[in-house]
């Protein structure tokens, strides 16, 4: 049902999806492209959404979007908003989630925002259109937009896109299109391609030549497991000085500065006493935090992905990292083991810690360090800890997904009076 939204309307807030929120006589209306403080004219509303027809008076945090593709490419939702204001909004989302979880006292968060052109991981789609390849991100609920400009990507990664278009166009195994993931590892770009055809000897030859010409150590074909199509040198990355060999498509924090900020916040939160009891790390991945933690204590590192666990095992020799394979939702680490740890560190997936959280609640470890990438999951997972009496000791909010609605947080929790059996 359409509603007439004629007249000047003030935008009062930003919604969780990055749309402006206007309070109107018809109720709350979401306005894509609007910024808090804008006075706008709206088009006819469809349900709870209305298009932005015209900006009458721009809000104080409105800026000119820096990318020429903004509004077309789906990679950035809020480039019309100044970065400091966007960081404050993201911090507010985390604070709101913690308030909803029941925490009455929340420390003022430390905040970190990465610089533009620092993104070293990207998932792209590609499609054949006539005699060319379109390579980029999907527009909002639409087709792929050719990424001819980008204010997010590392310049070395962006420079690879143009030759990639030519190479993908020449592949016999690409019929209509596919998907491409690129990780900028320390050894160079690591490519994982999914195509709609079956690669033959010609595809492999083309990929091998491309790999050699552009200094790409490895190109893999998506699948279970992925298949190496071209290998042009060693594949490696470093976590806290330890060299690892990530599997194709491995999880990598999107920005190096973001990864550093998470690691710094986690290490600063470790207890100063009782570390002989060891650290339990959940969702360890390839060792993003494991080796840094191992500089302070023995680390029992649990990971459910076999390829990531194999990477972690291969690199853990001579360190205090003890990797263990465990599907933490189906077979969580039990409360009795968690209770003995000097600290429990977890960096769960977007959906949160699931069944593992119940065991943390039952085990009542004195120190819990929770790395979050989703305020909704953060609220759900930390609410039972708050009910047990855990205090929120420190909070760091990290914006490493610039101009998006995504936000990271490191929450440091302590249960007063617990763990007295630990050696101090």
CB 330 within 8 A of CB 353: no
Other residues' Cβ atoms within 10 Å of the Cβ of residue 379: 21
CB 169 within 8 A of CB 161: no
CA–CA distance, 113 with 404 (Å, rounded to integer): 12
Burial readout 120-141 (b: 16 or more C-beta within 10 A, e: otherwise): bbbebbbbbeeeebbbbbeeee
Closest CA to 147 of 214, 189, 157, 86: 157
If DSSP codes are grouped into helix, strand and coil, which group holds residue 120?
Answer: coil
φ/ψ region of 406 (left if φ > 0, alpha if ψ in -120 to 50, else beta) reads beta
CA–CA distance, 283 with 262 (Å, rounded to integer): 14
CB 342 within 8 A of CB 275: yes
Enter the DSSP assignment of 391.
E
CA–CA distance, 287 with 283 (Å, rounded to integer): 9
CB 249 within 8 A of CB 182: no
CB 335 within 8 A of CB 359: yes
Tokens of 279: 């650290």
The catalytic residue positions are 373
């Amino acid at each position: 049902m359409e509603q007439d939204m004629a007249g000047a309307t003030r935008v009062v807030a930003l919604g969780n999806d990055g749309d402006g929120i206007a309070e109107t006589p018809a109720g709350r209306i979401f306005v894509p492209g609007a910024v808090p403080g804008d006075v706008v004219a709206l088009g006819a509303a469809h349900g709870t959404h209305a298009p932005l027809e015209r900006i009458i008076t721009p809000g104080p945090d409105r800026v000119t979007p820096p990318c020429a593709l903004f509004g077309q490419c789906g990679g950035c939702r809020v480039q019309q908003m100044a970065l400091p204001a966007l960081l404050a909004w993201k911090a507010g989302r985390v604070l709101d989630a913690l308030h909803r979880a029941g925490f009455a006292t929340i420390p003022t968060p430390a905040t970190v925002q990465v610089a533009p052109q620092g993104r070293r991981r990207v998932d792209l789609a590609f499609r054949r259109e006539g005699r060319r390849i379109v390579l980029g991100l999907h527009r909002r609920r639409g087709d792929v937009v050719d990424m001819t400009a980008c204010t997010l990507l590392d310049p070395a990664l962006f420079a690879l896109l143009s030759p990639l278009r030519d190479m993908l166009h020449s592949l016999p195994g690409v019929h209509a299109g596919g998907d491409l993931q690129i990780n900028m590892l320390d050894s160079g770009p690591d490519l994982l391609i999914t195509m709609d055809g079956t690669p033959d000897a010609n595809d492999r030859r083309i990929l091998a030549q491309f790999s050699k010409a552009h200094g790409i150590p490895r190109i893999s074909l998506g699948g279970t497991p992925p298949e190496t199509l071209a290998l042009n040198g060693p594949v490696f990355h470093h976590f806290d000085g330890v060299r690892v060999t990530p599997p194709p498509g491995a999880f990598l924090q999107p920005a190096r500065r973001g990864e550093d900020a998470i690691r710094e916040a986690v290490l600063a939160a470790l207890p100063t006493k009782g570390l002989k009891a060891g650290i339990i790390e959940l969702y360890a991945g390839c060792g993003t935090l494991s080796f840094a933690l191992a500089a302070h204590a023995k680390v029992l590192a649990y990971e459910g992905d076999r390829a990531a666990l194999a990477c972690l095992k291969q690199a853990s020799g001579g360190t205090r990292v003890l990797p263990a394979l465990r599907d933490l939702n189906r077979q969580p680490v039990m409360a009795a083991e968690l209770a003995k740890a000097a600290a429990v560190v977890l960096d769960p997936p977007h959906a949160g810690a699931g069944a593992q959280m119940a065991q943390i609640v039952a085990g009542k470890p004195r120190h819990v360090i929770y790395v979050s990438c989703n305020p909704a999951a953060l609220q759900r997972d930390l609410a039972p800890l708050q009910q047990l009496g855990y205090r929120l000791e420190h909070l760091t909010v990290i914006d490493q997904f610039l101009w998006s609605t995504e936000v990271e947080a490191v929450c440091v929790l302590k249960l007063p009076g617990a763990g007295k059996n630990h050696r101090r």
